[in-house]
Structure formats: C-alpha cells, structure tokens
C-alpha cells in the first residue's frame, strides 16, 4: 500500500506552560516504551481547533484551566512509521496534521488528574523546553522541534 495516498488526521496539540515556563508532558499508558507527549487529539466533525484543544486538555489531564498565548500559523504534520500505518486510527490515515496552541496553565498541579474517563497518560511531569525533543518518540521529534520553533518568542530559556 502507498501510504502517501492516505490523508492526514486533523488534530490539535497543546504546549501547556506552568508559571516557571516548563512544559507539561504525559507518559502514554498504551505503550511499553517510555513514550512522552504533550496533550493532543483529533478534531471532531464541525469542531474548531481551539475548542478541540480545550476539550483534549480536559479529557487527558482533567482540567482546561488555561489561556491561549499563541497558535501555529499553519498545520504541522508527522507521518507514522510504516509498521504503524494500518494499525492505528482504523488504517485511514498516514499520520496527523495538527494546529498547536501554546497555553499558560492557570491552576496548580493539584488540578491535574490523569484518571479521566478514557485515561491516556500513566504519569506526568513539567520539563524544560530544551529537554522536550529527547523525551518524545522519535517519529514525532521533527514535529516537536517545529512546534518549539513556532513558539520560541514566547518561551523562557
């Protein structure tokens, strides 16, 4: 099968910052490898990207107590490795196209609750932006570097 003929799944992602400028990452519950990621998920039919981003925050970390600082100007994409195409998302997509939002978390850590209706993360932490690319599963690394580049002017060193 020619994966390039498959479309990208439309999604949003959230780079959530705490007051110290650190980024939220969660360790995925559905993998045996140490796979960390920022909150993200598919856009529902008729849903706008910002609404999706707040919904995904609530579904994945139990709170949407955040405000938008910035968003990516264009869709950013990543391709699944060949061995995963056909196994995820019903085999309908080659990867994802995402609009990313940079958000400031307005609450405190006690509001974060991973035991949501459909848990996706088993643990979480705040990390420095510079450490983010090394934590991410390799096939998403270029995407994360593009997200960081888009939001550089808003990130603390």
Q: Which helix (H) or strand (E) holds 57?
A: helix 49-61
CB within 8 Å of 67: residues ≥ 6 apart: 103, 104, 106
- Model confidence over 36-92: pLDDT tens digits? 999 999 999 999 999 999 999 999 999 999 999 999 999 999 999 888 877 778 788
**CB under 8 Å to 42, separation ≥6 — which residues?**
9, 10, 11, 52
Could you tell me which CATH class the domain 3-154 is placed in? alpha beta
Query: How confident is the model over 97-114, as pLDDT tens digits?
Result: 999 999 999 999 999 999
Helices and strands counted in the chain (H then E): 3, 8
Cβ atoms within 10 A of the Cβ of 69, count? 14
> pTM of this prediction?
0.93
Q: Which residue has the tokens 């707040």?
A: 54
Please list, in sequence order, all residues whose beta carbon lies within 8 angstroms of the beta carbon of residue 14, skipping any fewer than 6 positions away.
24, 38, 39, 40, 53, 56, 57, 66, 100, 101, 103
């Amino acid at each position: 099968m020619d994966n390039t003929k498959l479309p990208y799944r439309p999604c949003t992602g959230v780079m959530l910052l705490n007051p110290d400028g650190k980024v939220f990452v969660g360790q995925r519950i559905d993998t045996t490898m140490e796979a960390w990621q920022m909150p993200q998920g598919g856009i529902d039919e008729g849903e706008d990207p910002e609404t999706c981003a707040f919904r995904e925050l609530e579904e994945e970390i139990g709170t949407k107590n955040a405000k938008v600082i910035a968003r990516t100007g264009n869709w950013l994409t990543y391709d699944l490795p060949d061995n995963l195409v056909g196994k995820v998302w019903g085999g309908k997509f080659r990867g994802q196209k995402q609009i990313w939002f940079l958000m400031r978390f307005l609450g405190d850590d006690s509001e974060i609750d991973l035991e949501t209706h459909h848990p996706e993360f088993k643990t979480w932490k705040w990390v420095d932006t510079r450490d983010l690319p090394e934590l991410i599963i390799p096939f998403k690394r270029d995407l994360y570097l593009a997200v960081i580049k888009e939001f550089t002017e808003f990130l603390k060193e």
